Chain A
């Protein structure tokens, strides 16, 4: 079965600094990969997703993620963090041909210092 690891439970960055959130997956083939953001008390907002093609994926709110097959990783990046980016971020995978069911990581809580 596939699994997702987000090694960082909490991350704190200063406003304006760059951000990288890590995500590693375990799966025998190339999965479909997703990043979500969740603000307190809110639902899941899809930031970006990868299915095939260009391994650098652009998303909403200035986020991007890079799929690295050799490292089984799909890290989320943003060049300059804004205070409004403070939220919880989830990485997820869906197996190809697996009914598009998502398996989520445990999340990374991002705090932004002003």
Chain B
């Protein structure tokens, strides 16, 4: 069966510091991978979407970037964090419609 991992679970970072969040999926090949963010006042929002290695689509303009260096690895980054980057970051995967809807445990980011 498939398993999705995210780390770290919790992160507190100062404004202006860099960010790297990692998501990995086990038990599947060539999945679609997604980064969502849940932030106060903005609900749950899709940030990035990837259909394969090196293929990233940005859904909303922002201070963040994403990369997919390996088939089952998805990384969310920032060079300089803003206060508005605080939130709960969730990674998700799918192969097709029947495997859509499964999320990792999330990373709670607080920017101070």
Contact = CB atoms under 8 A, between A and B. Distances in A.
Contacts of B101: 34, 36, 46, 49, 92, 94, 102
Contacts of A107: 43-44
A104 B97 CA distance: 16
Given A43-B90, A43-B105, A44-B90, A100 B100 contact: yes
Among all A-B residue pairs, the 8 with the closest Cβ atoms = A104-B44, A100-B100, A100-B94, A43-B106, A44-B103, A43-B105, A34-B101, A46-B101
Interface residues of A, number: 22
Nearest to B103: A44
B55 to A, nearest CB: 11
B92 to A, nearest CB: 8
A96 B97 CA distance: 8
Given A44-B90, A94-B97, A96-B97, A101 B34 contact: yes
A106 to B, nearest CB: 5
Interface residues on B, range: 20 to 34
Interface of B: 32, 34, 36, 43-46, 49, 51, 59, 90, 92, 94, 96-98, 100-106, 108
A102 B32 contact: no
A100 B96 contact: yes
Given A96-B97, A101-B34, A104-B45, 19 more contacts: A32-B97, A41-B108, A43-B104, A43-B105, A44-B90, A44-B103, A49-B100, A49-B101, A90-B44, A92-B101, A94-B97, A94-B101, A99-B32, A100-B96, A100-B100, A101-B46, A102-B36, A102-B44, A104-B44
Contact of A102 (B46, B104, B105): B46
A101 B49 contact: yes
